[in-house]
């Protein structure tokens, strides 16, 4: 009975990225997570980044066969790389392209609604003309819906005609503990068109299923597309381009719609930033790999909203939530989000532990790269470790470099993610933006001053691990290590 | 007898035996105390992996040097009537070898209590690695 998470569009993918990091940090979910990306542009940089994170997470999680409730990476993620794997439980795809029914060379709305064929000569053609301009009817949708949700929502409805939808419906009806959560933006194209359609369709398909979602209000700006068209050759012939000038109008209209129509969805979490001051994304791209945007603190809050929704007892839902910075005037910088603002009981502790693991694994890799057998052999907790009843030696650690590298890669991307979260007008100011140990915790900068990460050996020593593989035991030992007030 | 079995393996005084026994017992008590104090100092030092070997050897050597200074001073002060031939040199040599062996053993015995530091204070590890 998994928790299904629909990640719609680029913003959805980045919210899911934050949720994966929270799971990696050991924020507990009592059921496995089943991510479903919904985007017509699956080469979108935001999606590929999140997919790569999921793959690393899964690799690490596979080495943790016996995780406990408070372990890092304790949540199972159901994700399958291959599109169709018979006789496995993954029948519902992790990636869904709402344009999949269209011929790739005819990725246009006119083709989807059969404007030139079926509609020809009927009154519906006039209706289509009334609702959509010529440019919109002939716009290439392979890179998304370019900020026009009215187009996207038509294609999104096609999800109910897919074979997997029946399977999903069946599973949801059968298993009342399953829940569905949707990450989407309210102001763009794909997310804004996906949220209302998918949430409604699920609620109609299985009325007892708890459905919730995050709706992101405008929290970033794009470069002026008209200006860009003058200088960028590749954009010169584009007739419709996403424009952040319309974000607020889109969001306002959508809010009114949700207010009047969405109280039957169990929880709608609304999150937003001061749009006037928010950051402008450096790279402007209609889609594809170039559309790779930095992470934002608000996406982390969206992930916390999902955690809140999944952990909430049935019957304890509110239709609308607004998450805001607590006591903003008390902080030195009122726009910063600090540890006390984290909407979870663990506050900054998971971040602290994960940052320490980042340093520890990097230090260990330095020893491995240098082939420092002598020192590796003296790390007492590793030396006392037994895998297949055989004691671990330095050579074994060096040989397991590939196994450990998935953890190192995930840790490196965590550092980048923290940096990006810090690099906004409203900063996530829990950890140092470069994860420097000397100044690691913003609310207690002296805690790790002069601290050398190898000292963590003392905290990892004597942890009884039983994963029977180096990576799993390392994650388990780190999970068991206590983060104390003092260092 | 116990002193000879545990500590004085090649120093066998043949004159003033009772006096020598007192001297030997006193030196052993002080020598072992120095060793134990330095083990305690090493235990209390902040753990830092790449400096740990150096710290261990420093502790080990400093305690040996203190023991050497102590035994030289003590031996010089011993009444000449109690000393024949090369007694002083053999006494010092035996004491130092015994203290080195005992420090090695004490560190080994204390190593489980040293937790993360335990493999840094087992001298045989260094010998095996050097081979």
The answer to whether residue A85 scores a pLDDT higher than 70 is no
**Where along chain A do its domains lie?**
3-102+148-324, 106-140, 349-480
In sequence order, what are the residues at sequence separation of 6 or more whose Cβ sits closer than 8 angstroms to the Cβ of residue B33?
none
d(CA B12, CA B14): 6
d(CA A259, CA A480): 45
The answer to whether residue A6 scores a pLDDT higher than 90 is yes
Contact A378 B120 (CB under 8 A): yes
In sequence order, what are the residues at sequence separation of 6 or more whose Cβ sits closer than 8 angstroms to the Cβ of residue B101?
none
Of A383, A458, A462, the CB nearest to B119: A383
Q: Distance (Å) from the C-alpha of residue B101 to the closest C-alpha of chain A?
A: 22
In whole numbers, what is the pLDDT of chain A averaged over residues? 84
* pLDDT for the residue numbered B83: 84
* Average pLDDT score over residue span A222-249: 68
Instruction: Indicate the CATH number for domain A3-102+148-324.
Output: 3.40.50.1440
d(CA A107, CA A109): 7
Interface residue A29 vs chain B (CB under 8 A): no
Q: Distance (Å) from the C-alpha of residue A458 to the closest C-alpha of chain B?
A: 5
Q: Distance (Å) from the C-alpha of residue A63 to the closest C-alpha of chain B?
A: 25
E-strand ranges in B5-90 read: none
Contact B116 A461 (CB under 8 A): yes
DSSP state at residue A324: -
Condensed to tens digits (0 to 9), the pLDDT of residues A182-225 reads: 999 888 778 888 888 999 899 888 988 999 999 888 887 777 76
Confirm whether pTM is higher than 0.80.
yes
Could you please report the per-residue DSSP string of A360-375?
HHHHHHHHHHHT-HHH
Residues of B in contact with A461 (CB under 8 A): 115-116
Of B46, B115, B129, the CB nearest to A380: B115
Residues of A in contact with B49 (CB under 8 A): 375, 378-379, 452, 454, 457
The answer to whether residue A28 scores a pLDDT higher than 70 is yes
Residues of B in contact with A397 (CB under 8 A): none
Contact A455 B120 (CB under 8 A): no
Residue A301: which of A321, A330, A320 has the closest Cα?
A321
Instruction: Give, for A408, the enclosing helix (H) or strand (E).
Output: helix A401-422
d(CA A93, CA A78): 10
Banded pLDDT at B102 (limits 50, 70, 90): very high
Banded pLDDT at A361 (limits 50, 70, 90): very high
Closest chain A CA to residue B127: A374
**Tokens 């506050």 label which residue?**
A347
* pLDDT for the residue numbered A354: 95
Contact A375 B49 (CB under 8 A): yes
Radius of gyration of chain B (CA): 17
The answer to whether residue A90 scores a pLDDT higher than 60 is no
Chosen for mutation from A362, A365, A374, A378 (greatest number of chain B CBs closer than 10 Å) is A378
Residues of A in contact with B125 (CB under 8 A): 377-378
d(CA A432, CA A455): 20
Paired strand residues for A216: A185, A271
Torsion B32-B34-B39-B44 (CA) sign: positive
Interface residue A378 vs chain B (CB under 8 A): yes
DSSP state at residue A235: G
Paired strand residues for A179: A3, A210
* pLDDT for the residue numbered A189: 77
Residue A432: which of A365, A366, A348, A306 has the closest Cα?
A348
The gap between the terminal CA atoms of chain B, to the nearest Å, is 37
Residues of B in contact with A454 (CB under 8 A): 47-50
Closest chain B CA to residue A451: B48
The answer to whether residue A34 scores a pLDDT higher than 60 is yes
- Quote ipTM for the complex: 0.83
Residues of A in contact with B53 (CB under 8 A): 378
Residues of B in contact with A455 (CB under 8 A): 46-48
Radius of gyration of chain A (CA): 24
Query: Helix A297-311 and helix A9-24: axis angle, to 10°?
Result: 70
* pLDDT for the residue numbered A480: 93
Contact A22, A307 (CB under 8 A): yes
Banded pLDDT at A328 (limits 50, 70, 90): low
Condensed to tens digits (0 to 9), the pLDDT of residues B52-93 reads: 999 999 999 999 999 999 999 999 988 888 888 788 999 999
The answer to whether residue A177 scores a pLDDT higher than 90 is no
* pLDDT for the residue numbered A228: 63
* Average pLDDT score over residue span A124-147: 79
Helix, strand, coil percent values for chain B (each to nearest 5): 80, 0, 20
Residues of B in contact with A457 (CB under 8 A): 47, 49, 116
Of B49, B115, B119, the CB nearest to A462: B115
- Please report the residues numbered 438 through 457 in chain A whose beta carbons come closer than 8 angstroms to any beta carbon of chain B: 452, 454-455, 457
d(CA A15, CA A300): 6
């Amino acid at each position: 009975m998994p928790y299904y998470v629909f990640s719609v569009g680029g913003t959805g993918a980045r919210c899911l990225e934050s949720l994966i990091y929270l799971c990696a940090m050991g924020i507990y979910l009592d059921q496995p997570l089943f991510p479903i990306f919904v985007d017509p542009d699956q080469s979108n940089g935001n999606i590929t980044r999140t997919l790569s994170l999921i793959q690393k997470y899964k690799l690490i999680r596979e080495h943790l066969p016996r995780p406990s409730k408070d372990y890092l990476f304790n949540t199972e993620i159901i994700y399958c790389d291959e599109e169709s794997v018979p006789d496995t439980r993954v029948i519902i795809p992790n990636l869904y392209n709402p344009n999949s029914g269209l011929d790739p060379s005819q990725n246009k709305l006119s083709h989807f609604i059969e404007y030139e064929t079926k509609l020809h000569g009927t009154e519906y053609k006039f209706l289509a003309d009334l609702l959509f301009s010529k440019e919109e009817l002939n716009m290439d949708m392979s890179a998304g819906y370019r900020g026009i949700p009215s187009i996207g929502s038509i294609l999104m409805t096609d999800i109910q005609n897919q074979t997997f939808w029946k399977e999903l419906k069946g599973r949801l009806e059968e298993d009342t503990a399953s829940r569905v959560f949707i990450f989407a933006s309210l102001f763009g194209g794909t997310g804004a068109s996906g949220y209302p359609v998918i949430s409604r369709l699920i609620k109609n398909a299985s009325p007892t299923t708890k459905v919730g979602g995050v709706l992101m209000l405008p929290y970033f700006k794009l470069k002026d597309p008209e200006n860009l068209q003058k200088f960028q050759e590749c954009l010169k012939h584009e007739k419709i381009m996403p424009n952040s000038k319309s974000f607020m109008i889109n969001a306002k209209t959508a809010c009114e719609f949700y207010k009047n129509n969405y109280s039957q969805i169990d929880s709608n979490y609304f999150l937003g930033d001061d749009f006037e001051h928010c950051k402008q994304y450096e790279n402007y791209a209609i889609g594809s790999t170039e559309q790779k945007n930095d992470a934002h603190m608000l996406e982390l809050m969206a992930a916390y909203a999902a955690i809140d929704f999944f952990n909430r007892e049935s019957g304890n839902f509110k239709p609308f939530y607004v998450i805001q910075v607590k006591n903003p005037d008390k902080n030195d910088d009122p726009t910063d989000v600090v540890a006390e603002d984290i909407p979870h009981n663990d506050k900054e502790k998971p971040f602290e532990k994960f940052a320490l693991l980042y340093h520890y694994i990097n230090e260990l890799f330095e020893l491995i790269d240098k082939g420092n057998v002598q020192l590796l052999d003296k790390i007492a907790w590793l030396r006392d470790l037994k895998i297949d009843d055989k004691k671990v030696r330095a050579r074994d650690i060096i040989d397991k470099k590939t196994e450990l590298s998935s953890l190192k890669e995930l840790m490196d991307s965590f550092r980048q993610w923290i940096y990006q979260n810090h690099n906004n007008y409203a900063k996530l100011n829990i950890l140092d933006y470069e994860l420097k140990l000397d100044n690691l915790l913003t609310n207690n900068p002296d805690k790790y001053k002069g601290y050398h990460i190898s000292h963590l050996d003392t905290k990892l020593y004597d942890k009884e691990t039983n994963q029977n593989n180096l990576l799993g035991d390392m994650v388990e030992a780190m999970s068991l290590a206590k983060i104390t007030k003092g260092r | 007898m116990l002193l000879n079995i545990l500590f004085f393996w090649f120093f066998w005084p043949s004159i003033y035996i009772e006096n020598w026994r007192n001297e030997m017992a006193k030196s052993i008590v002080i020598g072992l105390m120095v060793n134990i104090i330095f083990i305690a100092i090493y235990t209390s030092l902040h753990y830092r992996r790449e400096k740990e070997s150096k710290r261990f050897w420093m502790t080990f050597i400093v305690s040996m040097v203190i023991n050497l200074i102590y035994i030289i001073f003590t031996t010089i002060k011993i009444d000449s009537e109690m000393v024949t031939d090369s007694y002083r040199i053999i006494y010092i040599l035996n004491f130092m070898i015994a203290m080195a062996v005992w420090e090695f053993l004490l560190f080994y015995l204390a190593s489980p209590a040293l937790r993360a530091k335990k493999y840094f204070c087992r001298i045989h590890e260094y010998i095996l690695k050097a081979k």
